Amino acid sequence: MIEFTRPAYDAVVDHARGGDPAEVCGVLAGTPVDGAADRDHDVVVEARPTDNVAERPETRYRIDPEELFAVVESVEDDSLEVVGFYHSHPGGPARPSETDVDRATWTDRSYVICALDGHPFVGSWRWRGDDEGFEPETVALRE
């Protein structure tokens, strides 16, 4: 399960809406829930937007490695952890694409997609590694 604070959830949706028609992306900062097995439950307290440097940002996203390194350092400096990543699918669907699967690298982290096809829909999948792939997970709000 990935649980968002309301401000973090709203930040992801607002960023996605603001970037349409291009995909947007960013890093999710938060904390694992104590006692959760195998990083199965994280709380997102901040969404940190990054630039999408993909050659075709309308259908792909890519975070510049140097920017990613700087964001990871800032997350850790704030005593938080990288619990996942987010990006948008302006025209849907609300599930990982083949490209998303091919480029996932952070095992046991959440990959959140905000689909803008109709009403915004936020879904999440936890990357379990090359052999197991993406596992759908519950998205919840912590009020």
Q: How far apart are CA 103 and CA 80, in angstroms?
A: 24
Residue 101: pLDDT above 70?
yes
**Which residues in 1-143 belong to E strands, given as ranges?**
2-5, 25-32, 42-50, 81-89, 110-115, 121-127, 134-137, 139-142
| 121-127: strand order across its sheet | 134-137, 121-127, 110-115, 81-89, 25-32, 42-50, 2-5, 139-142
Span 91-105, average pLDDT:
90
The reported pTM is 0.95
Q: What is the pLDDT of residue 37?
A: 62
Could you tell me the two tokens for 14?
């607002």
The answer to whether the CB of 15 falls within 8 A of the CB of 77 is no
What number of CA atoms fall less than 13 Å from residue 40's CA on the CB side?
5
Phi-psi region of 40 (alpha: psi -120 to 50; beta: other; left: phi over 0): alpha
pLDDT tens digits, residue range 10-52? 999 999 999 999 999 999 999 999 866 667 899 999 999 999 9
**Residue 68 parent element (H or E):** helix 65-77
Chain mean pLDDT for the chain = 94
Q: What is the pLDDT of residue 119?
A: 84
